[in-house]
């Protein structure tokens, strides 16, 4: 069965600190996708990144970076120089790869609430 | 540009009552899905659809029915409400299955 664990329920940092959100996943599939989403206080879910299981290169997008390590089944998310606007709940998600019909069954972790204090 | 519209925003039901949560999107997305969000549980997939006439079960489908007669609409039916179904329900549509556009949610309380 697929499972995503975000052990950190809530993290509080002071603005400009770096923060890493952990994500550990379980799957029997050899081909799968991993995702991160942000849910700000307004409630909508914002897609941040998708990574397939064959691509273990780390990715950086501005202040965001992601570290995918298949050996430890982890897909961690780091925010550098955090800002108050980064305050949100962040979800990690996993999906098996369905090449034929793109029917992604996203399995979400329980989320990590990040509070960035001024 | 409405995006994904969910109605109602709030609902209180008594145990055993039935109701339908409405979801409509105007982006011509083939993929639509329903999630419930509970404290400490994150988002759990109830049902999803990859196009009109096609639906499939997610993680927690029991107690819920869906249908997809048109591309635009994806209603979620609670057949006989139970207190365990108290939750916030989100409908989402997607052009590709993973870039999810969520509605504003329906907060359901079952007493």
pLDDT band at A98 (very low <50, low <70, confident <90, very high): low
Average pLDDT of span A53-59: 83
Q: Which of B45, B56, B104 sits opposite A106 (nearest CB)?
A: B45
pLDDT at B7: 96
Reply yes or no on whether the pLDDT at A102 is more than 70.
Answer: no
- Is there a contact between B24 and B101 (Cβ–Cβ < 8 Å)? no
pLDDT in tens, B19-65: 999 999 999 999 999 999 998 778 899 999 989 999 999 889 999 99
The three-class DSSP label of residue B37 is strand
pLDDT band at A38 (very low <50, low <70, confident <90, very high): very high
Q: Residues near B28 by Cβ (< 8 Å), separated by ≥ 6?
A: B71
Chains A, B: CB contacts within 8 A come to 60
pLDDT at B40: 76
- Is there a contact between A8 and A112 (Cβ–Cβ < 8 Å)? yes
Average pLDDT of span B72-78: 97
pLDDT band at A42 (very low <50, low <70, confident <90, very high): confident
Q: Are strands A112-117 and A10-14 parallel, antiparallel or unpaired?
A: parallel
Tokens 């952990």 correspond to A22
pLDDT at A97: 67
Reply yes or no on whether the pLDDT at B10 is more than 90.
Answer: yes
Q: Are strands A88-96 and A112-117 parallel, antiparallel or unpaired?
A: antiparallel
- Residue B12: strand pairing partners: B109
* Residue A42: half-sphere exposure toward Cβ, Cα within 13 Å: 8
Chain A residues within an 8 Å CB radius of B44: 108
pLDDT at A106: 84
Tally of CB atoms within 10 A around A3: 12
The span from the CA of A89 to the CA of A37, in Å, is 8
Q: Are strands B42-51 and B31-38 parallel, antiparallel or unpaired?
A: antiparallel
| Phi (first) and psi of residue A41, to 5 degrees | -55, -25
- Is there a contact between B100 and A47 (Cβ–Cβ < 8 Å)? yes
pLDDT in tens, A61-93: 899 999 999 999 999 999 999 999 999 999 999
Chain B residues within an 8 Å CB radius of A103: 31, 48, 50, 56, 97
């Amino acid at each position: 069965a697929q499972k995503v664990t975000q052990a950190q329920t809530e993290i509080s940092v002071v603005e400009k600190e770096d923060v890493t959100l952990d994500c550990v996943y379980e799957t029997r599939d050899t081909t799968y996708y991993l995702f991160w989403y942000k849910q700000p206080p307004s409630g909508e879910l914002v897609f941040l990144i998708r990574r397939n299981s064959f691509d273990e290169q780390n990715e950086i997008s501005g202040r965001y970076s992601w570290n995918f390590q298949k050996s430890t089944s982890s897909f961690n998310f780091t925010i550098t120089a955090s800002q108050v606007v980064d305050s949100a709940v962040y979800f990690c998600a996993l999906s098996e790869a369905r090449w034929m019909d793109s029917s992604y069954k996203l399995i979400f972790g329980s989320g990590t609430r990040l509070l960035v204090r001024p | 540009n409405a995006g994904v519209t969910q109605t109602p925003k709030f609902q209180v039901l008594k145990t055993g009552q039935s109701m339908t949560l409405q979801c409509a999107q105007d982006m011509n997305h083939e993929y639509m899905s329903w999630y419930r969000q509970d404290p400490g549980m994150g988002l759990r997939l109830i049902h999803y659809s990859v196009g009109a006439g096609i639906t499939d079960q997610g993680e927690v489908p029991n107690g819920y029915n869906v249908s997809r007669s048109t591309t635009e609409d994806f209603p979620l039916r609670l057949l006989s409400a139970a207190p365990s179904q108290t939750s916030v329900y989100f409908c989402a549509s997607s052009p590709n299955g993973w870039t999810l556009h969520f509605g504003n949610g329906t907060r359901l309380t079952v007493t």
